[in-house]
A and B are shown apart, each in its own frame.
Chain A
Amino acid sequence: MTTTAQFLPAPPLLSPVAHNWKLALLAGLVVSVIAIVLFPARLSLSVVGAMAALVAAAFAVNAYRRRYYGGLLVAPAIAVLFVMNIFPLLWSLGLSFFAYQSNNQSIRFVGLNNYIKVLTNDIAAPANWDALINTGMFVVFTVALQMITGFLLAMLFAKQFPLRKYLLILVLTPMMLSVVASGVFFSYYYDPTFGILSYVMGEITGNQFILMDSKVGAVAGIVFTDAWMWAPFVMLLVLAGLVSVPKYLYEAAAIDRVSKARQFWTITFPYIRGLLMLALLFRTIEAFKLYDLVYILIRGGQDTKTIAYLITEIANEQNKTSEGAALSYVILFMVIVLTNLYLYLANRRNQGA
């Protein structure tokens, strides 16, 4: 690989060549400052944008001349992510240290107060801890059910058989539904009067059956819906692993009279382990953010509020933007710790194997 950046002499500051990024930066700054001082906001914004593009172009030409391809290739992605994701993230991190309400222009610095508030006393800290426990519960149940269901479905589809392609797409469809539609329709299936579930249960037991009447029922309903939607995602990843196992390994194992269970653990499992872990990583991150189904199916009733639900409630309905931000950074911290722990374990295993 040719990763070596070549060391060309830098051009003199004032020479107007395309790769002279220092000159471009200097000119860009000067023009931007003049534009901000003289022109109205909208116009100066586009001038600043044009100058940023100029500097970026100079940087790009310079990087290309110096064969600094890594930076060159990564830069556009980093730029987009910075403007649209990292900058807002930092902004809301900043907001979490201020007292700010989105329906109110006043803003003042309060340091760590918001964090102390959401974790200890003031705004319903017990509710926060409950929501935290609920979130953990949903993460464990939904991810476990998705992994098991996805895995079993993948085992079914691991062979080649007639009509496989058409049956596979049927199983993949739940993933393609809009959460609004599937959530609303599941609330219809669960409906005590008109729903199919209550009808069937009513016919069997003779009593009216209301799923969402207890916490256990509500949690079961939400977990089932979420798992139903996203088990196909797990299935797809596991299936990809299963079909990639070379046939001759099984043939050799069969000749050596290796038992089915042992074949699974020594041949199949190593091939799907990486994919299982990838599915686990992505589904866990998503499960921590569970909000929409809790809202659509039960509006947070029966003590099923998750952290994401609470954050949305605080930030959106009560307009307590900075408290919401503080609470979500507590969550982010936890997810980061978990993810790092997970990546660390996954890496250590890979190296050990």
Chain B
Amino acid sequence: MTTLAEKFGLRKASGVGEAGWGHTLIVALVSLIYFLPVLMIIFTAFKPSAQALSVPPTLSPTSLFGLIPDQFVFTPTLENFGQVFNRVMVSGNAAEPTGFDVFFFNSFFISSVSVLLALVIGTLASYGFSRYPLKGNDTYLFIILTTRMLPAIVVIIPIILMFRTVGLSGSYVGIIMLYTAFNLAFTIWMMKSFFDELSYDVEDAARIDGSSEIKVFLKICLPQVVAGLAATFVFGLILTWNEFLFALLLTGVDTRTVPVAMNQAVSSGGRGTDWTLLASIETLFLIPVFLVTFFLQDHLLRGVTFGTVKR
């Protein structure tokens, strides 16, 4: 049904206009193509090991009622997910625990604590940078950005030496502190732009009414940037969750995170890459961060908007 506006050519070109199922169809096609490599990883997690590498490559768990030729179809299995936690490490031996439950816990614990810590410290700092500018405020901010510019390998050698001296290598505290610092730069830059956007009028009104500075921050400013906090949390989580190099060099056996363990599990034994194992670890590893992003999605969009667009 065409509305009057459409008849006269007044349709909105962009912005948050409405579009129907036709548009959904186009976007669905594009999204699925974009998602295809991920889908292949997820499918590989369900393949029997024998069918992981085949010519032609197997593509689908069902033949979709005969649409897909049989040579591309594999029979799905859940076996690989069990292999993640218990598997035969030395051929001939019985299956033994791989310790992946611990590694998943480590990833979860280390990322969430360090991202939250960075969020707390970084939000305080960005509020300071935004509301009580220091002498040389911009210089401080630029130096903070600079900490993200060097390849990790350059900073890592002094950090290893430092951690060894202090006895922090292989401990939770060390890697959490490091990741906190690693997330701070992004958190401060992002959150500062959020605080800069807030109007000062409400704050000043509250101050005139006798609110303390702490109250102004907690009761007035903070509730207005919840969306920004969510957005920063998601970005930080995605980066920390998948961090590899620091984790490889600075975690011990007890504190190892999944990306490191994944790399070792897949390339150990000299039999080449174990595709189904890698795929099932990655699939399991994807779920938490996928869910968090999905549930914070609305905040993510609103948050980024609010934080960085100047009016």
Bound CA span A332–B150, Å: 6
Of A170, A186, A315, A332, most buried by chain B (CB within 10 Å of CB) is: A170
Asked if A121 is an interface residue, CB under 8 A from chain B, the answer is no
Residues of B within 8 A of A3 (CB): 131-133
**Contact A173 B35, CB 8 Å, known A84-B181, A180-B262, A324-B153:** yes
Residues of A within 8 A of B13 (CB): 250, 260, 263-264
Expressed in whole angstroms, the minimum distance between the Cβ of A60 and any Cβ of chain B is 12
Residues of B within 8 A of A81 (CB): 144, 147, 181, 184-185
Contact B152 A289 (CB under 8 A): yes
Residues of A within 8 A of B27 (CB): 156-157, 161, 164, 167
Question: Count of chain B residues with Cβ under 8 Å from any Cβ of A?
Answer: 112
Asked if B266 is an interface residue, CB under 8 A from chain A, the answer is yes
Expressed in whole angstroms, the minimum distance between the Cβ of B260 and any Cβ of chain A is 9
Asked if A10 is an interface residue, CB under 8 A from chain B, the answer is no
Contact B18 A70 (CB under 8 A): no
Bound CA span A194–B185, Å: 42
Of A3, A84, A291, most buried by chain B (CB within 10 Å of CB) is: A84
Asked if B207 is an interface residue, CB under 8 A from chain A, the answer is yes
Contact A177 B242 (CB under 8 A): yes
Asked if A172 is an interface residue, CB under 8 A from chain B, the answer is yes
**Interface with B: A14-22, A209-217, A239-247, which one?**
A239-247
Contact B128 A160 (CB under 8 A): no
Asked if B275 is an interface residue, CB under 8 A from chain A, the answer is yes
Bound CA span A179–B10, Å: 46
Asked if B301 is an interface residue, CB under 8 A from chain A, the answer is yes
Choose from B54, B153, B302 the contact partner of A315 (Cβ within 8 Å): B153
Asked if A255 is an interface residue, CB under 8 A from chain B, the answer is yes
Contact A160 B159 (CB under 8 A): no
Residues of A within 8 A of B56 (CB): 199
Expressed in whole angstroms, the minimum distance between the Cβ of B270 and any Cβ of chain A is 16
Considering only residues 71-92 of chain B, those with a C-beta below 8 Å from chain A are: none
Bound CA span A334–B275, Å: 40
Q: Once A and B bind, how many residue pairs between them come within 8 Å at the CB atom? A: 325
Expressed in whole angstroms, the minimum distance between the Cβ of A259 and any Cβ of chain B is 10
Choose from A186, A240, A260 the contact partner of B309 (Cβ within 8 Å): A240
**Interface with B: A72-80, A123-131, A140-148, which one?**
A72-80
**Contact A240 B308, CB 8 Å, known A2-B213, A264-B13:** yes
Residues of B within 8 A of A228 (CB): 34, 37
**Contact A69 B310, CB 8 Å, known A180-B263, A194-B55, A241-B305:** no
Contact B244 A292 (CB under 8 A): yes
**Contact A80 B177, CB 8 Å, known A70-B128, A247-B16, A350-B310:** yes
Asked if A301 is an interface residue, CB under 8 A from chain B, the answer is no
Bound CA span A208–B88, Å: 36
Choose from A42, A77, A251 the contact partner of B121 (Cβ within 8 Å): A77
Bound CA span A229–B218, Å: 37
Expressed in whole angstroms, the minimum distance between the Cβ of B150 and any Cβ of chain A is 5
Contact A167 B28 (CB under 8 A): yes
Asked if A300 is an interface residue, CB under 8 A from chain B, the answer is no
Contact A78 B131 (CB under 8 A): no
Contact B30 A156 (CB under 8 A): yes
Contact B16 A78 (CB under 8 A): no
Contact B121 A95 (CB under 8 A): no
Considering only residues 260-309 of chain B, those with a C-beta below 8 Å from chain A are: 262-263, 266, 273, 275, 278-279, 281-282, 285-286, 289-290, 293-294, 297, 300-306, 308-309
Asked if B253 is an interface residue, CB under 8 A from chain A, the answer is no
Chain B: which residue is nearest A239 at the CB level? Answer: B301
**Contact A194 B54, CB 8 Å, known A167-B27, A311-B154:** yes
**A67-102 interface bits toward B, Cβ cutoff 8 Å, 1 = contact, 0 = none:** 101111110111011011111110110010000001
Contact B266 A274 (CB under 8 A): no
**Contact A177 B23, CB 8 Å, known A160-B16, A193-B55:** no
Contact B125 A78 (CB under 8 A): yes
Bound CA span A222–B302, Å: 33
**Contact A71 B134, CB 8 Å, known A181-B41, A196-B57, A288-B149:** yes
Contact A180 B286 (CB under 8 A): no
Contact A86 B121 (CB under 8 A): no
Contact B285 A312 (CB under 8 A): no
Choose from A85, A161, A195 the contact partner of B23 (Cβ within 8 Å): A161
Contact B308 A80 (CB under 8 A): no
Asked if A55 is an interface residue, CB under 8 A from chain B, the answer is no
Contact B305 A85 (CB under 8 A): no
Contact A324 B154 (CB under 8 A): yes
Expressed in whole angstroms, the minimum distance between the Cβ of A92 and any Cβ of chain B is 5
Bound CA span A89–B44, Å: 42
Residues of B within 8 A of A160 (CB): 16-19
Contact B125 A88 (CB under 8 A): no
Bound CA span A73–B216, Å: 14
Expressed in whole angstroms, the minimum distance between the Cβ of B175 and any Cβ of chain A is 11
Contact B35 A168 (CB under 8 A): no
Chain A: which residue is nearest B259 at the CB level? Answer: A178
Partner-A contacts on B (CB < 8 A): 9-21, 23-24, 26-28, 30-32, 34-35, 37-38, 40-41, 44, 53-57, 59, 121-122, 124-125, 127-129, 131-134, 140, 142-159, 161-162, 166-167, 177-178, 180-182, 184-185, 188, 200, 204, 207, 213, 238, 241-242, 244, 258-259, 262-263, 266, 273, 275, 278-279, 281-282, 285-286, 289-290, 293-294, 297, 300-306, 308-310
Q: List 6 A-B contacts (CB under 8 A).
A: A76-B121, A77-B125, A186-B37, A189-B37, A246-B15, A271-B309
Starting from the known contacts A80-B121, A169-B294, A254-B12, 10 additional A-B residue pairs (CB-CB under 8 Å) come to A77-B184, A153-B30, A159-B16, A170-B32, A177-B41, A240-B301, A242-B15, A255-B10, A271-B309, A292-B244
List the 7 closest pairs (A to B, CB-CB), nearest first.
A73-B128, A70-B132, A84-B181, A77-B125, A240-B304, A91-B158, A88-B158
